[in-house]
Structure 1
């Protein structure tokens, strides 16, 4: 069999490009677990107002980091904090 080396190279490049595009699309679909953000991230996850979040920070009741005048929050820590507040539900059986 006499294969054209340019055609072989082209087919390998096409497969490689498809794999790279698949990896890029998978990476964009998954949010980063170590995502760090500011007050907007905390509001998005907790659905609380700015004054309420500032109050929780002041009382040291919400996980946060402070560098200078800026507040930082980790998505993973906020999600863990929210889910830690789960309450048991009483079910009426009748």
Structure 2
């Protein structure tokens, strides 16, 4: 990576913006709308989440996982399952310590 001078900054930003546009285009081409709207049955959803079918039923009964029910059948949207998994992310110890440090700095500044 080369060093960029202040005078070269506008051109570097333009190139960066063009590369980001190309990346967005590539990502949107690779992700078909059909993937977002995929509907899973219980067996498919359990396989997608790497759970047993019985474990998935337990999560459904406790309303821990998003689902749709039509009659006696359960259906799961792939996008909703993806979002559910993402929301379950736990912070690392380093992230918690960083947040605590930021909070302490904020308290000290107010005092």
Q: Give yes or no for TM over 0.5.
A: yes
Per the TM alignment, residue 32 of structure 1 is displaced from its structure 2 partner at its CA by 1.9
- Output the TM-score relative to the length of structure 2: 0.52
Structure with the larger helix share: 2
User: Runs of 5+ in structure 1 lacking a partner?
Assistant: 1-25
Task: Answer 1 or 2: higher relative contact order, Cα 8 Å, separation at least 6.
Answer: 1
User: Runs of 5+ in structure 2 lacking a partner?
Assistant: 1-28, 95-111
- Output the TM-score relative to the length of structure 1: 0.61
Q: What pairs with 1:14-53 in structure 2 (closer than 5 Å)?
A: 30=32, 32-53=35-56
Structure whose CA Rg is larger = 1
The question of whether the paired residues in 2 share the 8 Å contact of 1:41 and 1:75 is answered with no
